[in-house]
Amino acid sequence: MKKFRLAASILSLGLVFSLVGCATKVYRVDEREIIDLSGKWNDTDSQMVSDEMINDCLSAPWQGKFIEAAGKLPVVAVGTVYNKTDEHISPDVFVKDLERAFLNSGRARVVQSGAALDELRAVRQDQQEFASPETRKRLREELGADFILQGVINKIVDMEGKKRVYFYQVDLELVNIESAEKTWLGQKAVKKYVEKGGVRL
């Protein structure tokens, strides 16, 4: 009986230590640190692509021509960026990165768009009925956008054995809202090579 109890105790301790060894570990890291675990699209790709593409967009001839003709900075609305990949890529995150890149450049003004704009308009409309006359905001005073930025994210995968190549292509286009003329077309590719290691026993 004593031997049985001893064996059971040793087994229990072994189980406890194995569970402790398999426990999930979480570390706080700097948000600017590049971490690529799977090789798939991540926050670093979103920030890098948005910064480079918006810089290219604002360096194109259309921006200078618009300022010369209108005497003001262009007003841009960032529209829909479609995710055509098989991954769960949040378009909202990428859209916010694009808006941030436009604003931080100081070379364009950005207005609200999408569902957030609908919410803003609903609040403004409610103010007409419920807010005091001196604080309610006027209707029909929005800053109209001159251009809208739209785009798509595509992906190609090549694989053999434990080797993977992920190829992402982002296509963006800036369109004149009044004339529907495309004033800038941009393309950025991200290519990643991933080699999965074997299981060690």
The 10s digit of each residue's pLDDT in 177-198 is: 999 999 999 999 999 998 887 5
Amino acid of residue 56: D
Interacting residues of 187 by C-beta distance below 8 A, sequence separation 6+? 169, 170, 171, 172
What pLDDT, on a 0 to 100 scale, did the predictor assign at position 45? 92
What pLDDT, on a 0 to 100 scale, did the predictor assign at position 118? 96
Specify the higher pLDDT residue, 85 or 37: 85
Q: Using 50, 70 and 90 to split pLDDT, how confident is the model at 154?
A: very high
Q: What is d(CA 105, CA 66) in angstroms, rounded to the nearest whole number?
A: 16
What pLDDT, on a 0 to 100 scale, did the predictor assign at position 200? 46
pLDDT > 60? residue 133: yes
pLDDT tens-digit profile of 160-171? 888 999 999 999
Distance of CA 156 to the CA centre of its chain: 19
Least confident of 39-43, 46-50, 74-78, 107-111: 39-43
What pLDDT, on a 0 to 100 scale, did the predictor assign at position 142? 96
What pLDDT, on a 0 to 100 scale, did the predictor assign at position 30? 56
Domain range list for the chain: 43-113+143-195
Distance of CA 162 to the CA centre of its chain: 28
What pLDDT, on a 0 to 100 scale, did the predictor assign at position 37? 65
Q: What is d(CA 44, CA 37) in angstroms, rounded to the nearest whole number?
A: 12
CATH class name, domain 43-113+143-195: alpha beta
